Amino acid sequence: AISLNNNRISQISTTALTGTVFYLDLANNMLTNLNPAVFSRINSTLQTLDLLNNRIAMLDGESFANLRNVQTLNLNGNAMFSITGNTFQPLANLNFLGLWNCALNSLNVEWFNGLSNLRILYLGSNGLTELPANVFNPLTSLAELHIYNNRIVQLRRDAFGASLPSITTIYAPANSFNVIDPEVVTAASSLNYLY
């Protein structure tokens, strides 16, 4: 494990990280972008990447290139003003994705393509007003969805698609719901908690 949290790191050399690194904690720094070359020497072993509370504003398809073994990715507290559709696709073994408090106003239906192993998704404390049709469809292992403290008006079955049977928890307080589709409950055969 390498913990470099709570510093003022704004850049990392492409030769700084080597060896067998399972856990990399870069939380509470001043990183503004992600250069995939930084992870190139540890990409076969890295399982947890914590980028909490940095200044990352843009992610694209190259940001996580070759990080196929990462299971936990924490991006909470970064203002994500630009995320391209295929950004998370290289992360085929991802189990946990944290995107709360990231100034997200909308969700791209392509973001979650290829993430069939994702079990926990945090999207709380953003500016979301809707969940687009089929946005969670690729997440066929999704167990926990945290969408609290947004401005979501409708909770509809069509947002979930193939993910609905695996969901055990939908945590959604502090929204603006005026419609909750009854099929969200009836078709979610594993649902234990709807907050």
- The tens digit of pLDDT for each residue in 90-106 reads 999 999 999 999 999 99
Residue 2 backbone dihedrals phi, psi, to 5 degrees? -125, 120
- What is the band of 136 on the pLDDT scale with cuts at 50, 70, 90? very high
- Overall size of the chain counted in residues: 195
- What is the band of 12 on the pLDDT scale with cuts at 50, 70, 90? very high
pLDDT of res. 104: 97
Place of tokens 């890295």: 46
pLDDT of res. 23: 97
pTM of the model: 0.96
pLDDT of res. 47: 98
Calculate the dihedral angle through the C-alpha atoms of 162, 163, 166, 169, rounding to the nearest 10 degrees.
Answer: -150
Rounded distance between C-alpha atoms, residue 140 and residue 136, angstroms = 8
Q: What is the pLDDT of residues 167-187, one digit of tens each?
A: 999 999 999 999 999 999 999
CA 188 to chain CA mean position, Å: 22
Q: What is the pLDDT of residues 145-155, one digit of tens each?
A: 999 999 999 99
How confident is the model over 29-37, as a mean pLDDT?
94
The percent of residues above 70 in pLDDT, for the chain, comes to 100
Whole-angstrom distance between the N-terminal and C-terminal Cα of the chain?
Answer: 35
pLDDT of res. 146: 98
pLDDT of res. 168: 98
